[in-house]
Amino acid sequence: MNLEKSSPWDGLHEECGVFGMYDFDGNDVASTIYYGLFALQHRGQESCGIAVSETSGPKGKITTYKGMGLVNEVFTPDTLETLKGNLGVGHVRYSTAGASTRENAQPLVLNYVKGTLALAHNGNLINANELRRDLEYTGAIFQTTIDSEVIAYHIARERLNSHSAEEAVRRACQKLKGAYALVVASPRKLIGARDPFGFKPLCIGKRDNSYIITSETCALDTIGAEFVRDVRPGEVVTITKDGGIESDTSMCLPEEKEARCVFEYIYFARPDSHIDGLSVYASRIKAGRFLAQDSPVEADLVTGVPESGNAAALGYSMESGIPYGTAFVKNGYVGRTFIKPKQSSRESSVQVKLNVLKEAVAGKRVIMIDDSIVRGTTSDRIVRMLREAGATEVHVRISSPPFLWPCYFGTDIPEREQLIAYNRSIDEICEIIGADSLGYLDIDRLSQMVDGRPICKGCFNGVYPMEPPKEDIRGDYFDKEINLSRKLERM
Amino acid sequence: MNLEKSSPWDGLHEECGVFGMYDFDGNDVASTIYYGLFALQHRGQESCGIAVSETSGPKGKITTYKGMGLVNEVFTPDTLETLKGNLGVGHVRYSTAGASTRENAQPLVLNYVKGTLALAHNGNLINANELRRDLEYTGAIFQTTIDSEVIAYHIARERLNSHSAEEAVRRACQKLKGAYALVVASPRKLIGARDPFGFKPLCIGKRDNSYIITSETCALDTIGAEFVRDVRPGEVVTITKDGGIESDTSMCLPEEKEARCVFEYIYFARPDSHIDGLSVYASRIKAGRFLAQDSPVEADLVTGVPESGNAAALGYSMESGIPYGTAFVKNGYVGRTFIKPKQSSRESSVQVKLNVLKEAVAGKRVIMIDDSIVRGTTSDRIVRMLREAGATEVHVRISSPPFLWPCYFGTDIPEREQLIAYNRSIDEICEIIGADSLGYLDIDRLSQMVDGRPICKGCFNGVYPMEPPKEDIRGDYFDKEINLSRKLERM
Amino acid sequence: MNLEKSSPWDGLHEECGVFGMYDFDGNDVASTIYYGLFALQHRGQESCGIAVSETSGPKGKITTYKGMGLVNEVFTPDTLETLKGNLGVGHVRYSTAGASTRENAQPLVLNYVKGTLALAHNGNLINANELRRDLEYTGAIFQTTIDSEVIAYHIARERLNSHSAEEAVRRACQKLKGAYALVVASPRKLIGARDPFGFKPLCIGKRDNSYIITSETCALDTIGAEFVRDVRPGEVVTITKDGGIESDTSMCLPEEKEARCVFEYIYFARPDSHIDGLSVYASRIKAGRFLAQDSPVEADLVTGVPESGNAAALGYSMESGIPYGTAFVKNGYVGRTFIKPKQSSRESSVQVKLNVLKEAVAGKRVIMIDDSIVRGTTSDRIVRMLREAGATEVHVRISSPPFLWPCYFGTDIPEREQLIAYNRSIDEICEIIGADSLGYLDIDRLSQMVDGRPICKGCFNGVYPMEPPKEDIRGDYFDKEINLSRKLERM
Amino acid sequence: MNLEKSSPWDGLHEECGVFGMYDFDGNDVASTIYYGLFALQHRGQESCGIAVSETSGPKGKITTYKGMGLVNEVFTPDTLETLKGNLGVGHVRYSTAGASTRENAQPLVLNYVKGTLALAHNGNLINANELRRDLEYTGAIFQTTIDSEVIAYHIARERLNSHSAEEAVRRACQKLKGAYALVVASPRKLIGARDPFGFKPLCIGKRDNSYIITSETCALDTIGAEFVRDVRPGEVVTITKDGGIESDTSMCLPEEKEARCVFEYIYFARPDSHIDGLSVYASRIKAGRFLAQDSPVEADLVTGVPESGNAAALGYSMESGIPYGTAFVKNGYVGRTFIKPKQSSRESSVQVKLNVLKEAVAGKRVIMIDDSIVRGTTSDRIVRMLREAGATEVHVRISSPPFLWPCYFGTDIPEREQLIAYNRSIDEICEIIGADSLGYLDIDRLSQMVDGRPICKGCFNGVYPMEPPKEDIRGDYFDKEINLSRKLERM
């Protein structure tokens, strides 16, 4: 819907996917960006958009199409046909409730002193309010509530004192605190930038005579491009027709200071992606193995809560020797517009989305692996479904440590009071969800899980790579229910 | 469609309608704004929008709904229901082709240093490019191609050095050159401003304990409000709960320097509106009378090309004593989405929209009154239709002088080369359209027609109240066909 | 919306328009049918449809497109493009509330023993229930609630014993009682049929090498076709490539038994149409003249309630010598989806749709002509608006006699109890609507008005050309408000 | 789209899902039917519909809503709200191209001699043409091209000589040849009928005081109903408030003559469903085990082509001891409106939908299990993807025998010439798809797979339980591509 509740601070916390492409041979990139966004759809189902320009055309002519909904709902063949241009950026945005408005859809397209700019952003700035206020005190106006507008403003301002667009991007980035993975199309350049901690992934691909900068490698596979390399945390890369990939690493930190979001490995990213050289799938398998080592239990079957629990379940099975099997059938047709059962009705959302394969679990001791428990209400329901289908025991294993702290860098973790792990022992949680036993991944296993890459574990231990903001940056309209419902959507 | 061709300068030339309302009793104003916009629909059929806020609520919360299309296409009862607030502004926008995008729909809603602002604008600035460039050189970014964004920026900047929102509006207006009628909702105020020449109309109304600022008085009649007074050219009026109507006339010029757009009387405004104290209908009747005095001809019937020629035709009939009658039936169902006949087809747009009443014209000498001739192709067709229906003579009288010059203040006059009157004598035009005689309103009659009010006659004589811009401000995407097709739409 | 309340008997009372075309040269007819329907839009705004086939193609292949809404809402250029065929029928349907469903949209397309058939129908059968029941007792099933399905069934059954499609149509018609004007496309023929009383109009046109059968001549003008002749009451005409127009008059009655619906002349038909050789416009002018003769009054201005009162007002003015003028401005943008003001609101539907030209009426004695008064609520409001605008006297003249009886042949007249004229004297009505005087057209003038053509005046005098049905054929879902709202829509 | 190509014989071959419900307590059933259809969505994605009536209300009032698209696209909360009634039937329809029209959407709702009837049908009649022709020779008309209309006609006719609706249903069924699973709502009864061979599944469930008749048990699980029993092949069951479940088994054959469609077990049905007492999941596990026994091969990993190959893969793994694993990530967002890559583009449909987990397969000998190969083009592509991801060997095992013969009972098998197995040896096929080895399920294993239940294996061996029709009943518009694309959609 187009109905916008204008408010400065809602909608800050987005999980998104970005995809930029520059074809030096002048071929249109819109349809390839479409398939790229399609591969990144799991990173955002609220809105999407593509902006393209022709590098050989009149400088600064950008054609844009954005809309609310999934990639295949928003774009039609006709629309793609009209998006002419060999340089472009695309974006998928995560559906938070309050600010789920067309105004906030990306890419952000703008005119500034040097022409036009299209910008797509994944992440969350912790000093966005501060930066907004500073800008407002010099007369700036804001038409959206997304961080990208703040970033764009800074790029426009820095451009006045910079020799190049990439310099302006880098100077602007130096003012940003928080998580960002940016793709920018300036009239003749494709620029990518990643925050110095590397919270959010960003990588470079190549296909024939074109380059791609995108959030995950699965988007490269989907379009048949080869992976070139990851963008380094803190790096600004610039793709030009003449220079190929140019790199500015002046913002990079010593490697040990980097702090990737470990939840990208645990849940966000697609298992077939590689982030900073590590297979997401492999790290999940490893998490399952650690669980088998650290929380062993006798059982007849290991199964995953689809889809995100499957890889860890396989790892647990490999390590423990307990057979892996499918215990659930997920209804793949549950989509954005699914009508949720009313409280009063006999139907339940979980039951509509998941069904148990009685044959697979009846009479068996089942180990059920999930990637996380947030409030516990879904887990509770699923455990009950397994028992009703005849499972004699249900042992729950979670391939991440308990959530205990807020995230300031892009993950929508509910208020502490709503977290099941807050102020509760593992045994208490186990009882609440009705399991026979419960085990979480040990927090010390996380680094091992990602082969020693420096990570942010703030949501588990409250230790953040930078000073968290004092005020609550999530605003009034932050949707407390979003994380849970989103999990169900991806199950 | 939402497909936007981003370009900085297209879409400048808009004819629009504005409607702002502030209900001191706290009643919702959205549905009344809806009916107000409905009465102003003839001023713009491209897009429309409403933005409202609650003056008793948290400062700066604005709810907005905008869309492409007519008022009754864009808004639903549900949408109106959701637009809660007792202070609001609405806008209808004229359909130019190039920049007919949702991004450019108004009202423009923004956050700035003092909170939020909603702004609706009718008119055309001739220094918009200049102002944009100046702003860009200080780091501004632009997300639309409408003048309103430039105005909003200036208000935001001036607010830093102003004691009040209205002072900021006035200071911003002092930088603007051209035509503007503005309505602004700041959190607790409704502000209206009209350019010093008074090109575009703006008036104040009152209903119970609420005030309205709007483009035409017909909108006041429609909602059952009483007319209070016109906003004076150059005046900034501020409606507050405590102060009622406050006025700042510091920008006003001596009355003789004012320059109302005479085309508002001739064609734009609804006949039931009064502009600056003068009935539009009465001025058209007068134009018809002048034509009868200055271009008399013997005939059996005077008729108007519907709808805009009817009042002048009645005036001609009154003055000449020749009976007035209806000669045309207009198909009232022709709308925005009407499929135009192909060149190759046997059908023609004019014929689909108009039919002649044979009984009314057969065997008669007909005087056909129209408000203007732009390219002449429609007139040509209509004259032929009258003859085919049996009219023995067709005398065309036009209730305005010939178009010869561009307009820089909001009227979409085509390139001179396309104007039928350019480089042609009246006789030549008469021959082209196939009439037996042709008469235009004498340019000297215009002032008489509006009872001596100072007017701009630039499109007729090339004399403008201010220096016209040197560059062509209409950009590449200006739709050359728009004026003609629009006329047909309103016939 | 597509939500259908299935009920056998709702939606019987339709006013519709039909348009059939056969191009012998093989050109596609869909876009011409589109413009034809467009000209007939005033006969039905609920739904519309086009069905076409190629006479040179595989026998019985029909392509259809139907939808809820106006012609220009339902059809797109793409849709018309896909409708390939040189023989076709189109239909516009009047918006009754209950059965305003897509299922009931026409043309009805069906397969039967001889292939396919497309059928469009205007009118109302009084023995439809009876015929349905008879068919059901032989095992028929009904998927719609429109009479056309009953007619189609009978054509299909009669086809078994007929030598040709036209014979089957004629045999089927012999079973029908009531009003019908039919257009049928059988694989290689275009067939038209009109009931023996001639309630509903039907005429034949020609353009190049193609023939048209349609409801009103205005549709012929619109597409540039010439009028050939009216279909005679009771006649079945068949257009074939080889035979041109063939005629079966075996059902025709002696001319004096015919009974055209006089309301087609008074209100339904477009003024630029001719029905059975008589100009609708001329008959309305005449009605106005009669009113001036029979109900004279001293006044300064004669005006019509737009649009349908205008011609009679002009006639009154011609006869009386009192000047004709425009007193109202009608908002032409009021459409199907217009949101009606709530009872509680300060706005009123009438005021939103009509405004008075104060200059035209202030200080004047006004004669206001309308075509009919149903409940009187609108008249009441309009009279008050005239007074508020300064009219010193308001004399109402109605160009038809008072409604007193139901119509069984296609006109939606409300229950008697709701008719303002029921059980009231003219003086009482005059008082209710607040007029200074009131005059109706004398019922004896009707025949004069139509130059002596035999007409049905049942709604005025309760005398019908055939025995009316005993049961109420209008069903439960008949929308009592429809007539009034529809009038307003066409004002 | 609503554009209908009317043709008598297209669209016959449907795979569909049906769901009927009768709540004796008078509660509305529409929202439960919605969730039921949702669980059956895999059986048809083209169109869907719900028809309901109130058994306590006026007899024969049915409210219907149908539309093109998925259940969650067609229905909104408002729509469900409007569907008032405690007795209803719902339907999902499979997307064939030619006749994918709104006219053909089910349930079919009709009036007949005894009131109204709503009917939903899954299956395919082989004597539908014959029955249509017979009906046409007695004057019947057809407005759709679906078998349901033929069935409805026969029910209506038989009702004339029957004591009850269920008797009419049974008498009508006796004329039908082919596959059918019917649910019928007559004003006070819910009737289910299954053809004597039992091609299509149909079962009965119960929840509180309501009964359900539906295609698959997974729909019962989803709404929290308990499974009562299957409808027997040839049985007509009638649910009434007073009688509960009544059964008419007069059409039943000796059990050994039954002929269930084995492809329901192999592919069509959801794995969590039970058909005639047998778990679909269990039968697929078994198929995998048989493959391991009959076509063993040394390897490191067994994997399924998602989703339909997974269960057989698990069975293969269990039997062989070779580890099971996930090798593919499927993009769950591929939907109906997905834009297929152009032939010329670098992207491929398969690659957009599937990606390989390199870590899972690199350096491994992989056994890839799929449920069937139709043309082989998809298999070819997937095998190549596995190799590119580093699989050293790729052994393909298919959990069904090779397709060699047409199906006349509801499965869209392409022309023989397009079947990869037609006129080719297994080795030849293996080479074409590029596998290292290929094994199909032996046809003799099928009966074992379903625990000896009598099945139809016609598509594998050309032996059908009844004489197949002589003419090609699939018509001109049968979409040759449908089976393949549909498989991909469900992957």
Amino acid identity of residue C38, one-letter, is: F
Q: How many Cβ atoms are within 10 Å of B388's Cβ, its own excluded?
A: 12
Confidence of residue B486 (pLDDT cuts 50, 70, 90): very low
- Tell me, yes or no, whether A32 and A138 share the same domain: yes
Cα(D270)–Cα(D281) distance, integer angstroms: 8
D327 and D388 Cβ atoms separated by less than 8 Å: no
pLDDT in tens, B134-187: 999 999 999 988 899 999 999 999 999 999 999 999 999 999 999 999 999 998
Paired sense of beta strands A365-370 and A301-304, if any? parallel
In a domain? residue C371: yes
pLDDT at D477 over 90: no
Tell which of A200, A223, A258 closes a domain. Answer: A258
pLDDT in tens, D429-453: 999 999 999 999 999 999 999 999 9
Instruction: Please tell me which residue of chain C has the smallest CA distance to D159.
Output: C139
ipTM greater than 0.85? yes
- Tell me, yes or no, whether C89 and C43 share the same domain: yes
In a domain? residue C394: yes
Are C307 and B281 inside 8 Å of each other by CB? no
pLDDT at D374 over 50: yes
What's the pLDDT score for residue B61? 84
Are A6 and B63 inside 8 Å of each other by CB? yes
Are A5 and B137 inside 8 Å of each other by CB? no
B272 and C356 Cβ atoms separated by less than 8 Å: yes
Structural domain including A435 reads: 280-490
DSSP C403-444: P-S--SSS--PPPGGG-TTTT--HHHHHHHHT-SEEEE--TT
Amino acid identity of residue A173, one-letter, is: C
In a domain? residue A268: no
C81 and D115 Cβ atoms separated by less than 8 Å: no
Confidence of residue C100 (pLDDT cuts 50, 70, 90): low
Are C143 and D109 inside 8 Å of each other by CB? yes
H helices of B83-146, where?
128-136
Structure tokens at B313: 């035709």
Structure tokens at B229: 């007074």
Which is nearest to A400 in space by CA: A284, A301, A485?
A284
- Tell me, yes or no, whether A137 and A56 share the same domain: yes
What's the pLDDT score for residue D141? 92
D191 φ, ψ (degrees, to nearest 5):
-120, 135
- Tell me, yes or no, whether A378 and A425 share the same domain: yes
* pLDDT (mean) for B418-431: 94
- Name residues whose C-beta falls within 8 Å of residue D286's C-beta, 6 or more positions apart in sequence: D315, D448, D449
Pairs of residues, one from chain B and one from chain C, whose beta carbons lie less than 8 Å apart = 165
Q: Give the range among C292-306, D14-28, D208-222 with minimum mean pLDDT.
A: D14-28
Report CA dihedral (A228, A229, A235, A241) to the nearest 10 degrees. 0
What's the pLDDT score for residue B57? 79
Q: Which residues of B touch C281 (CB under 8 A)?
A: 357, 359-360
Selected residue of C71, C281, C339 to mutate for chain B interface (largest B Cβ count, 10 A): C339
What's the pLDDT score for residue A487? 41
Cα(B71)–Cα(B49) distance, integer angstroms: 8
Count: domains in chain B: 2
CATH number at residue B329: 3.40.50.2020
- Tell me, yes or no, whether A208 and A328 share the same domain: no
Structure tokens at A410: 């892009």
User: Which is more confidently placed, C257 or A347?
Assistant: C257
Structure tokens at C132: 């349905």
C299 and C366 Cβ atoms separated by less than 8 Å: yes
Q: How many Cβ atoms are within 10 Å of D1's Cβ, its own excluded?
A: 11
What's the pLDDT score for residue D420? 93
What's the pLDDT score for residue D375? 87
Q: Which residues of D touch A206 (CB under 8 A)?
A: none
Structure tokens at B96: 């130019």
DSSP annotation of B89: E
Cα(B322)–Cα(B316) distance, integer angstroms: 8
DSSP C16-38: EEEEEEEETT----HHHHHHHHH
pLDDT at C10 over 80: no
Identify the three-state secondary structure at position A262. helix
Are D222 and A351 inside 8 Å of each other by CB? yes
- CB contact, 8 Å: B314 with chain C? yes
Q: Which of residues 431-470 of C touch B (CB under 8 A)?
A: none
- Tell me, yes or no, whether A217 and A127 share the same domain: yes
CATH number at residue C239: 3.60.20.10
C275 and C231 Cβ atoms separated by less than 8 Å: no
pLDDT in tens, D363-372: 999 999 999 9
Average pLDDT, chain B: 89
Cα(A104)–Cα(A95) distance, integer angstroms: 11
Q: Which of residues 34-63 of B touch A (CB under 8 A)?
A: 60-63
Instruction: Please tell me which residue of chain A has the smallest CA distance to D490.
Output: A332
pLDDT at B264 over 60: yes
Average pLDDT, chain D: 89
DSSP annotation of C355: E
Most confidently modeled range among A4-8, A364-368, B2-6, C332-336 = A364-368
Most confidently modeled range among A12-16, B141-145, D261-265 = D261-265
- How many Cα neighbours within 13 Å face the side chain of C349? 18
A371 is in an annotated binding site: yes
What's the pLDDT score for residue A96? 47
What's the pLDDT score for residue C346? 83
- CB contact, 8 Å: B404 with chain C? no
User: Which is more confidently placed, A485 or C290?
Assistant: C290
In a domain? residue D273: no
Amino acid identity of residue B257, one-letter, is: K
- CB contact, 8 Å: B136 with chain A? yes
* pLDDT (mean) for B435-456: 97
Confidence of residue B410 (pLDDT cuts 50, 70, 90): confident
Amino acid identity of residue D457, one-letter, is: K
Cα(B140)–Cα(B135) distance, integer angstroms: 5
In a domain? residue A7: no
- How many Cα neighbours within 13 Å face the side chain of C207? 21
Cα(B484)–Cα(C3) distance, integer angstroms: 41
pLDDT at D353 over 60: yes
pLDDT in tens, A63-94: 999 998 899 999 999 999 999 999 999 999 98
Amino acid identity of residue A196, one-letter, is: P
- Tell me, yes or no, whether D295 and D421 share the same domain: yes
- CB contact, 8 Å: C333 with chain D? no
Catalytic residue IDs of A: 16
DSSP annotation of D396: E
Average pLDDT, chain A: 89
**Per DSSP, what are the bridge partners of residue A485?**
none
What's the pLDDT score for residue C347? 85
Are C143 and D143 inside 8 Å of each other by CB? yes
- Tell me, yes or no, whether C248 and C340 share the same domain: no
Cα(D375)–Cα(D397) distance, integer angstroms: 15
Which is nearest to C65 in space by CA: C45, C48, C44?
C48
In a domain? residue A412: yes
What's the pLDDT score for residue A171? 97
- Name residues whose C-beta falls within 8 Å of residue C78's C-beta, 6 or more positions apart in sequence: none
Q: Which residues of D touch C48 (CB under 8 A)?
A: none
Q: What percent of chain A has pLDDT over 90?
A: 77
Beta strands in A338-392 (DSSP E): 354-356, 365-370
B173 is in an annotated binding site: no
Are A113 and B6 inside 8 Å of each other by CB? no
pLDDT at C478 over 50: no
Q: What percent of chain C has pLDDT over 70?
A: 91
What's the pLDDT score for residue B90? 98
pLDDT at C214 over 60: yes
Amino acid identity of residue B191, one-letter, is: I
B89 and B29 Cβ atoms separated by less than 8 Å: no
What's the pLDDT score for residue A344? 79
What's the pLDDT score for residue D439? 98
User: Which is more confidently placed, A312 or B349?
Assistant: A312
pLDDT in tens, B103-132: 788 999 999 998 899 999 999 999 999 999
What's the pLDDT score for residue B360? 96
Confidence of residue C104 (pLDDT cuts 50, 70, 90): confident
What's the pLDDT score for residue D100? 53
pLDDT in tens, B286-340: 999 999 999 999 999 999 999 889 999 999 999 999 999 999 999 988 777 778 8
In chain A the first and final C-alpha atoms are separated, in Å, by 25
Confidence of residue C117 (pLDDT cuts 50, 70, 90): very high
What's the pLDDT score for residue B95? 54
Q: What percent of chain C has pLDDT over 90?
A: 77
Which is nearest to A329 in space by CA: A413, A397, A385, A255?
A385
- Tell me, yes or no, whether D149 and D246 share the same domain: yes
Q: What percent of chain B has pLDDT over 90?
A: 77
Distance (Å) from the C-alpha of residue B347 to the closest C-alpha of chain C? 5
- Tell me, yes or no, whether C298 and C380 share the same domain: yes
In a domain? residue D269: no
Report CA dihedral (A421, A426, A430, A433) to the nearest 10 degrees. 0
Amino acid identity of residue B335, one-letter, is: G
- CB contact, 8 Å: A108 with chain B? yes
B374 and B484 Cβ atoms separated by less than 8 Å: yes
Which is nearest to A334 in space by CA: A49, A70, A17, A101?
A70
Cα angle B71, A72, D223; round to 5: 95
Biggest CA–CA distance in chain C, Å, is 72
Report CA dihedral (B103, B104, B108, B110) to the nearest 10 degrees. 40
What's the pLDDT score for residue C471? 55
- Tell me, yes or no, whether C187 and C146 share the same domain: yes
- Tell me, yes or no, whether A375 and A462 share the same domain: yes
In chain B the first and final C-alpha atoms are separated, in Å, by 25
Tell which of B254, B285, B312 closes a domain. Answer: B254
